[in-house]
Amino acid sequence: MKIAIMLYDRFTALDCIGPYDVLCRMPGVEVVFCARERGEIRTDSRMLGITADVAMSEIPSPDVLLIPGGFGTRRLMSDAYTMEWIRGVHGVSQWTTSVCTGSLLLGAAGLLNGLTATTHWASTDLLETTGAIYTEQRVVEHGKIMMGAGVSAGIDMALTLVSRIQGDDVAKAIQLGIEYDPQPPFDCGSPTKAGPDFVALLRAINEAEEQAS
């Protein structure tokens, strides 16, 4: 089974590395990082580069597609090449998946029309412009489409995906392998739990970062 993770300029690293380090542990799986062109792709912070080992054109029919989020998604929503590639892959994939604002690209490609969907909590309005209906769930499934919420939700999404592909026992073994027994130091990982002040602060930071870029 071949799993393609699509990179692009200004992706968020944890969105794809959480799922990568879950999915690559499935027996018989090959995870392939791809991008418009081969080579190093830098993250949203610019402090990290990850290698795209193949060009998207070289991997037109992976069994699983995973699209991470990041500020770079905004520009790609109107990029014809990316939209056509995603639709082509989705036409033949066993699973089409996203983490965080990666779902904006599934939506822009027309895959989420009328469906409940998830994304980073700060991008729900933008998601709904694509015809999707935001729902506050950490993992959302519709047939072969699976979406995780913001950033760290990709780990929960990927473990769920493993359980669908190779069964609960493999997923449990992988969860133990990555010692995923989370103990967050605070109980503030969602807008509801964090409260309006933190939400307003983060929205302001996000907007400043988008404008600066």
Q: CB nearer to a second copy: give 33 or 134.
A: 33
Chain positions 22 to 51 lying near a second copy, rule: CB under 8 A, are 24-25, 30-33, 40, 45, 47-51
Query: What burial class does residue 193 get, using C-beta atoms within 10 Å of its C-beta: 0-12 exposed, 13-18 middle, 19+ buried?
Result: exposed
Binding to a second copy (CB under 8 A) within 86-115 occurs at 100
Q: How far is the CB of 110 from a second copy (least distance, A)?
A: 26
Rounded CA-CA distance 176/197 in Å is 36
Q: Is 138 exposed, middle or buried (0-12, 13-18, 19+ CB in 10 A)?
A: middle
- Catalytic (active site) residue 100: yes
- CB 163 → a second copy: shortest distance, Å? 6
Contact residues for 199 (Cβ-Cβ < 8 A; gap 6+): 121, 191
Q: Which member of 108, 120, 130, 134 binds a second copy (CB under 8 A)?
A: 120
Query: Position 44: which residue type?
Result: D
CB 87 within 8 A of CB 115: no
User: Which amino acids are annotated catalytic?
Assistant: 100
Residues forming contacts to a second copy in the complex (CB under 8 A) are 12-14, 17-18, 20-21, 24-25, 30-33, 40, 45, 47-51, 53, 100, 120-121, 138-139, 149-153, 155-156, 159-160, 163, 168, 171-173, 175-186, 188-191, 193-194, 198-199, 201-202, 205
